[in-house]
Chains A and B, each alone.
Chain A
Amino acid sequence: MSILEVRKLTKQFGGLTALNNISFKVKEGEIHGLIGPNGAGKSTVFKNIAGFYTPTKGEIVYQGKKISGNQPHIIAKMGIVRTFQETTLFQEMTVFENVLMGSLAKSDINLFSAILGLDKQQQKAAREKVLEVLEFMGLTDRKNQLASELPLGSQRTLAISIALASEPKLMLMDEPFAGMNMEETNHMMDLTRKVQESGITIVLVEHDMKAVMGLCHFLTVLNFGHLLAEGTPEEIRHNEQVIEAYLGGAK
């Protein structure tokens, strides 16, 4: 059962074709890897799914419904949340507030209940949810620290916590392992698995091959905006074209 389907996705910027006729399916409950050399168009795929870009051609189908062309916040409300490549947090808020933002973001604006303080119940539920997420991600000890004061590893964990607090069904993770040392990478791999085991489908863009091969159930390989190969990590590892692209292109 596929939760997300990318159908013949093409994205052009002016005359430049960043993505050319890409199709793949993401199975519900799996960790799906999206890999490829630099400039292959992985992040562009993400931005199309999350609604930051509109596809030039083709469509993106989520739970049987076409979602491409919608704005990011609408897609987020449907249950697709992305994390960012560079560490993107609300730097001047505390860890707790960051996650609270994630949990409150989807709820509607009600000016009068905000002024009169009638949304206590909702606020309380949101706060409990935040504590739960922080506990799950192991950030409870740091909840009153400012986001900008956290070490890199914890900042990444926080970014995922924010996404998690908005109760997504599908999480798009953009290079969560970039710049991490061995220990941090292992910790992040455990967390990613934990998130997946809690029932959330994950699409992962990543360069760290060890992490990708260890985590993903299925891989899609892109090269220069084209679909190069698909398969399980084992199949991809032995795929001639993929080896060629990585060895020939990057180094």
Chain B
Amino acid sequence: MKIIIRLRKIIALIILLAGLIVLPHYLEFHYQDLLIFLIVNVLVVASYRIVTLTGEWSLIHAVMMGVGAYTAALLFKNYNAAMWFTLPLAGGAAALTAALLSFPLFRMTQFYFLIGSFAAGEAIRLTWMQFIFPFGGSGGLSGIEPPIIGSIDFMDPIPYYYLALGVVLICLFILYRIENSKIGMTLHAIHWKAPLAESVGVDTWRYRALAFIIGSFFVGIAGALKIHYLGTITPNQFGIGFMVFILIWVIVGGYKTIYGPLIGVVVLTIFDESVRGFGELRPAIYGGVLIISILFLPLGLESIYPKILTWCGIGSNSSDGPPP
């Protein structure tokens, strides 16, 4: 039985992967663009999940993405650094920032942490806005380009999509490994009962900080991936507005399992596209969906999946989650 479930998972994974590889060839240019941002946002929510595993909701994740993005942009603008170089350094810069911030931030918990992380993030973001040199002020920087290797120009959406997909899949794999390791388990344990974890020897401060640093590293990479394709960077891309979107994706998707946030970002991006015709009304529709999902689907979209299985008579075996 276990082997069958495993086999089913592997087959589902292969089908999904094949789908992701052929998908861009059937899409219009506009949707190819969108697909790249979607892939990047998948990494954003997956990395946010690591941070939230300990039960703390940080409001600085979007700014950490910006730290990565600005690092990549500045490296490219000033030293013409190659993308292979800017990606890990972007992650490293975000991780370093997170490490420094973890000293003040993790003295707080819950409400205080929420507000503290928000304040620290805004202070960083306003710094980008204030200093024209080197950050370009509120106008930001432009002309950040993806690499050209031989005859492949990554300015085209399809090659860049494959590049981003590769990077994101590697990152997702690493994040998955971490969550399923002893570290992930300890983070869960801290969430459920911090005093109990402490009393058997878990240094909760270090684990909280570690989760924050890991999450920031990967969202930093996501920032660099986004900015190399987009070409321009401004402080407002990483404001509370984007942070709110991250929260919405995670919460509407559901945060009990590793799949929830991914479902959330995919479904809501498709939804967002489908209401494009509403123009300026779009945020209000988003807000409405958010409220409705909180009131009527508090466990997120992921909680629908087992229900659907039950309806279809496939069985209520909830341990067999949806494919990643």
Asked if chains A and B are in direct contact (CB within 8 A), the reply is yes
- The answer to whether B174 touches A101, judged by C-beta atoms less than 8 angstroms apart, is no
- The answer to whether B186 touches A101, judged by C-beta atoms less than 8 angstroms apart, is yes
Q: Please indicate the chain A residues that have their CB under 8 angstroms from the CB of B196 in the complex.
A: 84, 88-90, 162
Contact of B201 (CB < 8 Å), options: A83, A90, A105: A105
Distance A37 CA – B177 CA, assembled complex (angstroms): 50
- The answer to whether B201 touches A76, judged by C-beta atoms less than 8 angstroms apart, is yes
* B residues 201-226 in Cβ contact with A at 8 Å: 201-204, 206-207, 210, 214
CB of B199 closer than 8 Å to a CB of A:
yes
* Partner-contacting stretch, out of A1-9, A13-21, A115-123: A115-123
Q: Please indicate the chain B residues that have their CB under 8 angstroms from the CB of A107 in the complex.
A: 182
CB of B323 closer than 8 Å to a CB of A:
no
- The answer to whether A105 touches B197, judged by C-beta atoms less than 8 angstroms apart, is yes
CB of B193 closer than 8 Å to a CB of A:
yes
Shortest beta-carbon distance, A134 to chain B, in Å? Answer: 16
Q: Please indicate the chain A residues that have their CB under 8 angstroms from the CB of B207 in the complex.
A: 109
- The answer to whether A92 touches B201, judged by C-beta atoms less than 8 angstroms apart, is no
- The answer to whether A89 touches B193, judged by C-beta atoms less than 8 angstroms apart, is yes
- The answer to whether B185 touches A72, judged by C-beta atoms less than 8 angstroms apart, is no
CB of B198 closer than 8 Å to a CB of A:
yes
- The answer to whether A76 touches B200, judged by C-beta atoms less than 8 angstroms apart, is yes
CB of B195 closer than 8 Å to a CB of A:
yes
Shortest beta-carbon distance, A74 to chain B, in Å? Answer: 8
Residue of A nearest to B199 (CB): A82
- The answer to whether A90 touches B178, judged by C-beta atoms less than 8 angstroms apart, is no
CB of A206 closer than 8 Å to a CB of B:
no
CB of B188 closer than 8 Å to a CB of A:
yes
CB of A182 closer than 8 Å to a CB of B:
no
| Known A76-B199, A109-B210, A162-B200: A119·B185 in contact at CB below 8 Å | no
- The answer to whether B197 touches A101, judged by C-beta atoms less than 8 angstroms apart, is yes
Residue of B nearest to A100 (CB): B185
| Known A72-B198, A73-B202, A115-B177: A101·B185 in contact at CB below 8 Å | yes
CB of B246 closer than 8 Å to a CB of A:
no
Residue of B nearest to A103 (CB): B200
Q: Please indicate the chain A residues that have their CB under 8 angstroms from the CB of B192 in the complex.
A: 90-93
- The answer to whether B199 touches A104, judged by C-beta atoms less than 8 angstroms apart, is no
Distance A72 CA – B189 CA, assembled complex (angstroms): 16
Residue of B nearest to A73 (CB): B203
Q: Please indicate the chain A residues that have their CB under 8 angstroms from the CB of B188 in the complex.
A: 90, 92-93
Residue of B nearest to A79 (CB): B201
| Known A90-B193, A93-B192, A115-B174: A81·B206 in contact at CB below 8 Å | no
| Known A73-B204, A109-B210: A114·B183 in contact at CB below 8 Å | yes
Shortest beta-carbon distance, A127 to chain B, in Å? Answer: 11
CB of A25 closer than 8 Å to a CB of B:
no
CB of A77 closer than 8 Å to a CB of B:
yes
Q: Please indicate the chain B residues that have their CB under 8 angstroms from the CB of A81 in the complex.
A: 199-201
| Known A89-B193, A106-B200, A106-B201: A97·B177 in contact at CB below 8 Å | no
CB of B181 closer than 8 Å to a CB of A:
yes
CB of A43 closer than 8 Å to a CB of B:
no
Distance A165 CA – B197 CA, assembled complex (angstroms): 13
Q: Please indicate the chain B residues that have their CB under 8 angstroms from the CB of A162 in the complex.
A: 196, 200
Q: Please indicate the chain B residues that have their CB under 8 angstroms from the CB of A116 in the complex.
A: 177
Distance A71 CA – B202 CA, assembled complex (angstroms): 10
- The answer to whether A88 touches B195, judged by C-beta atoms less than 8 angstroms apart, is yes
CB of A111 closer than 8 Å to a CB of B:
yes
Q: Please indicate the chain A residues that have their CB under 8 angstroms from the CB of B189 in the complex.
A: 90, 93, 101, 105
Distance A173 CA – B203 CA, assembled complex (angstroms): 21
Q: Please indicate the chain A residues that have their CB under 8 angstroms from the CB of B198 in the complex.
A: 52, 71-73, 76
Distance A82 CA – B210 CA, assembled complex (angstroms): 25
Distance A90 CA – B200 CA, assembled complex (angstroms): 12
| Known A101-B189, A114-B178: A109·B183 in contact at CB below 8 Å | yes
Distance A105 CA – B174 CA, assembled complex (angstroms): 22
12 further interface pairs, Cβ-Cβ under 8 Å (given A84-B199, A107-B182): A50-B199, A81-B201, A82-B199, A88-B196, A90-B196, A93-B192, A97-B185, A104-B185, A105-B202, A106-B200, A106-B201, A163-B200
The 9 closest A-B pairs by CB, nearest first: A114-B181, A76-B201, A106-B201, A72-B198, A105-B200, A166-B200, A105-B201, A73-B203, A105-B202
Which of B's residues lie within 8 Å of A, judged by CB? Answer: 174, 177-178, 181-183, 185-186, 188-189, 192-193, 195-204, 206-207, 210, 214
Which of A's residues lie within 8 Å of B, judged by CB? Answer: 50, 52, 71-74, 76-77, 81-84, 88-93, 97, 100-102, 104-107, 109, 111, 114-117, 119, 123, 162-163, 165-166
